[in-house]
Amino acid sequence: MTCKSLFSKSLTADPDRLHFAAHSHHLWPDAAYHGHMAACEDALAMADHKWEKIMGPLWSTAQQNIANELNLPEPDTVAFAPNTHDFLVRIMSAIPKATVRVLTTNGEFHSFRRQMDRWIEDGKVKLDAVHADTLAASAQSGDYDLIFASQILFNSGTILGDLDALAALARPDGPWVVIDGYHGFMAIDTDLSSLSDRIFYLSGGYKYAMSGEGACFLHAPPSFAPRPPITGWYAAFDDLALAPGEVGYAPDGRRFLGSTFDPSGLYRFNAVQDMLKEAQLTTATISDHVAMLQTYFLDQCPLADMALLNPHDGGPHARFLAFQGQAAAQLESQLRQANIVTDVRGDVIRIGFALYHDTADVDRLVSALRQFCT
């Protein structure tokens, strides 16, 4: 399978570049470009009235696309924001505790860790961070207000297990379970149909949804956090005629909205979804292609002196391979100088595979790695 034609603009923009960081910044398909242009055209032609389209058919189509991907019973549980951090802040604001007791893993992304550390400084959070394998057991034995964990850990590619066990603990009066799906959404098949009434799920379009920045979303379970204290006027967009002093909220996922935002990410997201449907490319199909390329790469064993943190085990797998070793940073730098893009997190180099790769690209990568590793 080759899908390079779907990414012609990105690939021809720098023909010599070899981009193996799809897990970090996914190259835009042509559809994302055309979606972005559609946002500009609507802004020019419709001016103020563009919001009727954005908060109408554009919004509901994006909700339905996400509901289809996650098997959500009701698409109106989905809200959008420029980034997932906005949603984290609003969720935390809705927990009625002076000090919020948080359980998480020791492999969460920098933004979450930084925010937690700052809240700990102010005494607003008491945090326990455990290994992902022990999260469910720790959650059952502890007394927490919030349980927050990544579906796939960004640094190691470890896939979180026991979502059912975590969801079983969730209650409207606490604890709340929040799953950060940024490395899981459209990377592995995810079915939330049996969990959607109990867990929050965060993700966005920057990575495997191939939509660029500004297209993040939250699935919020009904009856959880009906009135987030940190709120913007879009959370009452349906009822702007309320009397002054009355703070109304949408009855669905929109209760977590903020204020005016750049809608171009939603245009791009929907355009990419249309592209995938037309090309008959599902998450499973793309994952199979990526798994084939990963196996092809591993069979040539170009990084035998480094530890692979997420080996294939026959089950779902992250879209990247995470190799740990002292030479990780130096190797990433050498590859970058050769216009081969990977990325490094501490002593871990991550190599991400995507639709725009074929075996010839892997051969080029392997050849460069052998040169730099000798």
CATH code (residue 160)? 3.40.640.10
Considering the domain architecture, whether residues 263 and 286 belong to the same structural domain is answered as no
Note the pLDDT of residue 374: 67
Region label for 223, one of left (φ > 0), alpha (ψ between -120 and 50) or beta (otherwise): left
User: 34 is written with which tokens?
Assistant: 């055309």
For residues 47 and 22, membership in a common domain is answered with: no
Closest by Cα among 205, 157, 164 to 185 = 205
Secondary structure (3-state) at 341: strand
Domain boundary among 276, 300, 320: 276
Strand (E) positions, 243-367? 307-308, 320-324, 340-341, 343-345, 348-352
Q: Residue 3 is encoded by which pair of tokens?
A: 């899908």
Query: Where a domain ends, among 213, 245, 276?
Result: 276
Torsion 85-201-20-3 (CA) sign: negative
Q: Is there a contact between 91 and 200 (Cβ–Cβ < 8 Å)?
A: yes
Last residue of a domain, one of 245, 260, 276: 276
Which pLDDT belongs to residue 242? Answer: 61
Cα distance between residue 374 and residue 198, in whole Å: 52
Same domain (yes/no): 18, 40: no
Buried b (16+ CB within 10 A) or exposed e, 207-245: bbbbbbebbbbbbbbbebbeebeebbebbbeeeeeeeee
Question: Does 157 lie in the same domain as 244?
Answer: yes
* Residue 1 confidence (pLDDT): 74
Q: Are residues 186 and 262 in the same domain?
A: yes
Tell me how far apart the alpha carbons of residues 12 and 144 are, in angstroms, rounded to a whole number: 50
Residues with Cβ within 8 Å of 363's Cβ and at least 6 positions away in sequence, in order, are: none
Say yes or no: 200 and 330 in one domain. Answer: no
Percent helix / strand / coil, the chain, rounded to 5: 45, 15, 40
- List per-residue pLDDT tens for the chain, 374 residues long: 779 999 999 999 999 999 999 999 999 999 999 999 999 999 999 999 999 999 999 999 999 999 999 999 999 999 999 999 999 999 999 999 999 999 999 999 999 999 999 999 999 999 999 999 999 999 998 799 999 999 999 999 999 988 999 999 999 999 999 999 999 999 999 999 999 999 999 999 999 999 999 999 999 999 999 999 999 999 987 665 566 778 889 999 999 999 999 999 999 999 999 999 999 999 999 999 999 999 999 999 899 899 999 999 989 999 999 999 999 999 999 999 999 999 999 999 999 999 999 999 999 999 999 998 86
**What does the pLDDT read at residue 243?**
64
The CA distances from residue 355 to 27, 29, 134, 203, in Å, are 10, 10, 34, 20
| R_g over Cα of the chain | 21
Q: Is the sign of the CA dihedral 46, 51, 53, 59 positive or negative?
A: positive
Question: Are 204 and 294 in the same domain?
Answer: no
pTM flag (> 0.85): yes
Question: 262 and 286 in one domain?
Answer: no
Q: Are 309 and 156 in contact (CB under 8 A)?
A: yes
* Residues 67, 22 share a domain: no
The answer to whether residues 20 and 51 belong to one domain is: no
What SS3 class is residue 199? strand
With beta carbons less than 8 A apart as the criterion, state whether 135 and 161 touch: no
For residue 174, give its domain range: 34-276
How many domains would you assign to the chain? 2
Question: Judging by DSSP bridges, how do beta strands 146-150 and 176-180 pair with one another?
Answer: parallel
pLDDT recorded at residue 161: 85
In this structure, are 366 and 299 located in the same domain? yes
Whether residues 237 and 139 share a domain: the answer is yes
Q: Tell me, what CATH number does 315's domain have?
A: 3.90.1150.10
